[in-house]
Chains A and B, each alone.
Chain A
């Protein structure tokens, strides 16, 4: 049980009415193997569930996947709700097929950053890229 004290805690899940479970499992294993304590909420997770889980587990970051193209709508207001719930400044990461159709990802990333996300990842991002970003955001904190 000592692991709790030295591992960074991530809340992980697939947001919205999205039932893509495979990528979620892959991320869970990749993050766990990388030394994180992962609280995996699975599929069809609402913003409120991410926040409740992050409060209760005192999470260091929230990692959101979205594979069905509606992620942008599902993520609106997430940062504000985190602020309201006292999770001020918690790193928010999002990745997958997070927008409808093929769009210039630089634009997409800008929009998600404007919504308060710390990182947004395009389709086909390797878990290692996200792990690297997590280390950048969380190490020495």
Chain B
């Protein structure tokens, strides 16, 4: 046996997962409160004690950790045109596991700079212009950032013709900068790998220690990535497979949390039919989006707003007045769990369903039918996920219920919204033991073991159409 420990320092819970990489099996999982204000090892040690009660004493040979504690990896980005380089910057940050707290397009103003001071990002991503294209905008934004006291590293990933000029402007003002490949080197071409790997380096090198996450890091030899990046990594391995072991194929992943809902898709999604024209920036094969207004507790009001009070009330079988009352209560007492209360269980189920529907609809592409002189034509923007046949779900409200498959059904296409390119039918797999982030970490060194453990542990929860 070769036990490896995987730790996820979440904003609320520190989750530990023990696996035997030789036997390729899960040994156990446990969690305790994250203790970021005192010493992060306190919560970790408690979680480990709980784990070892179940598994017995384990001598871990390796330990890997990810973190979304202390606010996660907070980023602000700037680009030129909202649909082009600003969008590319957004996709680069989210795919690297960041929490996007600000996004600017065109020329930043003095007021924007004041806002950025307040936002206190961990990293700023400065983009704009294709290679050889617009220089004026990114140079202006570099000048604006240079007026600030240096407070965060700045990644420059815009028009390569003036990357060095931006660097000189910023470094003259004392800022730390890194130059990466342009996120959109040519019109309609996304190139985010170099930026994403730099974001990860900066996260490792500076942010982990700056946030006090490695204070007395006796147990940890490495926090290697932000939690969402680990989950995206797990989803990618699960979909694609590794040498000698096939994955489950293209998938959509949904993580309904208390404050946000994250959606992942590991899928190509480009048009397959001849009469379909693609519009907009092509999206990354491994794509992550975050809905900041959709969550089961802190963002509970956002779900009701998106779905409509009457729909939530009807689904839960509770009067609108009572739903309003309960939603206010849950939004304040964010620790409340349904705990066998039938009314709360029905409400949580309705809310989770609507969270899934809203977040996946926003993540998926759209198709529009138009008639041209040449006949019927379709215009697609974003990813076509109709052919995806696997849905992976995680998050408390989805894994602590028997109704997972019913809730997950809301990730699928529905006849009343034919423009939304969500999966038509899919098998549902549930991350009952909360191991996705851990498997993402494990897959960095033991991809085959991570894949096989996921295939074994992600419970199939039926088939939805």
Specify which chain A residues have a CB less than 8 angstroms from the CB of B135 in the assembled complex. Answer: 58
B residues 104-135 near A (Cβ < 8 Å) are 128-135
B216 within 8 A of A: no
Interface residues on A, range: 20 to 34
CB closest residue in chain A, given B375: A19
CA A59 – CA B80 in complex, angstroms?
14
Interface string of A1-35 (1 = CB under 8 A from B): 10111010100000001111000000000000000
A115 on the B face (CB < 8 A)? no
Task: Tell me which of B193-201, B260-268, B286-294, B366-374 binds A.
Answer: B366-374
B372 near A56: Cβ-Cβ < 8 Å? no
Contact string against B for A residues 50-63, beta-carbon threshold 8 Å, 1 for contact and 0 otherwise: 00110111110000
Give a binary string over A37-53; 1 marks a CB under 8 Å from any B CB, 0 the rest.
10101111000010011
Provide the residues of chain B in CB contact with A55, threshold 8 Å: 80-81, 134
Whether A56 contacts B161 by the Cβ 8 Å rule is: no
Are B161 and A5 within 8 A (Cβ)? yes
The one of B85, B373, B377 that contacts A56, using a Cβ cutoff of 8 Å = B85
Q: Are A44 and B379 in contact (CB under 8 A)?
A: yes
CB distance from B275 to the nearest CB of A (A): 8
Given known A-B contacts A5-B132, A39-B187, A43-B277, A17 and B83 have beta carbons under 8 A apart:
no
B133, closest chain A residue (CB): A57
Per the bound structure, the CA–CA distance linking A39 and B81 in Å amounts to 16
Cα distance A57–B129 in the bound complex, in angstroms? 6
CB-based contact B133/A9 at 8 Å = yes
A59 partner residues in chain B, CB cutoff 8 A:
133
B130 lies within 8 A of A17 (CB): no
Number of A-B contacts (CB under 8 A): 74
CB atoms of A41 and B187 under 8 A apart: yes
B372:A18 contact, CB within 8 angstroms: yes
Among B83, B129, B374, contact of A58 (Cβ-Cβ < 8 Å):
B129
Chain A nearest CB from B226 CB (Å) reads 29
Interface residues of B in 53-78 (CB under 8 A from A): none
Chain A residue at smallest Cβ distance from B374:
A19
Q: Which single residue of chain B is at the shortest CB-CB distance from A85?
A: B81
Contact with A along B368-394 (1 / 0, CB 8 A): 001111100101000000000000000
The reply on B184 being an interface residue by CB < 8 A is yes
Pick the contact of A4: B81, B131, B187, B374 (CB < 8 A): B131
Once the chains are docked, how many angstroms separate the CA of A52 from the CA of B187? 10
Interface status of B409 (Cβ within 8 A of chain A) = no
B84 within 8 A of A: yes
Chain B residues lying within 8 Å of A69, measured Cβ to Cβ, are 373
* Chain A residue nearest in CB terms to B160: A1
Kindly state the separation between the CA atoms of A69 and B372 in the bound complex, as whole angstroms. 11
Asked if residues A56 and B129 are in contact (CB atoms below 8 Å), the reply is yes
CB-CB under 8 A from A44, the residues of chain B are: 277, 279, 370, 372, 377, 379
Docked Cα-Cα span, A53 to B279, in Å, equals 12
Say how far A58's CB is from chain B's closest CB, in angstroms. 4
Q: How distant is B333 from chain A, measured CB to nearest CB, in Å? A: 46
Given contacts A9-B132, A44-B372, A56-B80, 20 further A-B contacts (CB under 8 A): A1-B160, A17-B370, A17-B372, A18-B372, A19-B373, A19-B377, A20-B374, A39-B186, A42-B277, A44-B277, A49-B279, A52-B81, A52-B83, A53-B84, A53-B187, A55-B80, A56-B84, A58-B135, A59-B133, A68-B372
Q: List 10 A-B contacts (CB under 8 A).
A: A5-B161, A9-B132, A17-B370, A18-B373, A49-B279, A52-B81, A56-B134, A57-B129, A57-B187, A59-B133
